[in-house]
Amino acid sequence: MSQTVDLREPPQEEFSSPQDNTFEYHPVPPTAVVGFVLGLLSFMALLGVTGIVIAAVGTILSLLSLIKILRSRGLYSGRNLAIAGFVLSAAFMVSGCIYQRHLYQNEVPAGFERISFSRDISRDAFITEHGEPRLNPEVAALEDKPVFLKGFVYPTERMTGLSSFLLLKDSDECCFGGDPAVEDMIGVVMEDGQTIDYYAGRVSVAGTFELNKHYSGNKLEPLFLMKGQVVTHSKTAFD
């Protein structure tokens, strides 16, 4: 019986080149990373205006990053990172705005009228008639009215148990040793034996507005006075 011998060479095993399994890197846009970090920090929108700004920037950066990634046709990665940053930032931005509005609408005690220290008193305190300054009638009309306004406590040697204090319109005059102008300060005298402790941040004061009938122009002598009934840390940064 004859046998047929196969003289063909056995098939060679094919080995894949190491280059065939090389990982292809797709960079993540830096703005996507920054947007995500700002998204994590956006919870601060519930605390005030600075947080709302952070959330707004995070929303914009994350959205721009997502658009860039989708248009790159695979050149960039990080789609989920950009989406997460956008959702976090946008959600906290909207929530922060709603919450701050709620605080603003409910921070004035019943029976008091909100006025702005900067706009309603400091800016328009005096008018000029016949070349002479005189008290603005609109400011004078506030006398004996229950008002609510915000400012900063002028620091003195005594920091606790203050039954009276100077309220300034901004922290520049308060905290850097300046001499506030007469239209930029209000003398507050607490009623019913109440006292407060010094606080470096903005405070809200509800009380009766008065004019100092015995004003003589001495240094740090207030022309405007208030009988303070309620003094609290301000819930919002808005006047």
pLDDT single digits (tens) 117-169: 999 999 989 998 888 889 999 999 999 999 999 999 998 888 999 999 999 99
Q: Please tell me the total count of domains within the chain.
A: 2
The CA distance from 218 to 236, in Å, is 33
Domain's final residue, options 106, 122, 141: 106
Domain presence at residue 145:
yes
User: How much of the chain, in percent, has pLDDT values that exceed 70?
Assistant: 88
CA 215, chain centre distance (Å): 37
> How sure is the predictor about 13, in pLDDT bands with cuts at 50, 70 and 90?
low
Q: What is the DSSP letter of 108?
A: S
Do 118 and 209 lie in one domain? The reply is yes
The two structure tokens encoding residue 145: 């009215």
| Out of 57-61, 157-161, 183-187, 221-225, least confident range | 157-161
pLDDT band per the 50, 70, 90 thresholds, residue 228: very high
Same domain, 128 and 83: no
CB 203 within 8 A of CB 152: yes
Instruction: Give pLDDT, residue 28.
Output: 95
Q: What is the mean pLDDT of residues 20-25?
A: 68
- Let me know if 135 is exposed, middle or buried by CB neighbors in 10 A (0-12, 13-18, 19+): middle
Assigned domain for 55 exists: yes
Residues 56-82 pLDDT 10s: 999 999 999 999 999 998 899 999 999
Do 118 and 100 share a domain, yes or no? no
pLDDT value of residue 117: 95
Taking residues 14-29, report their average pLDDT.
68
Closest C-alpha to 145, from 211, 236, 194, 54: 211
Q: Which domain holds residue 136?
A: 113-233
CB atoms within 10 A of CB 64: 16
- Residue 211 to residues 38, 91, 191, Cα–Cα distance (Å): 48, 47, 17
pTM: 0.78
Query: Quick one: pLDDT at residue 5?
Result: 55
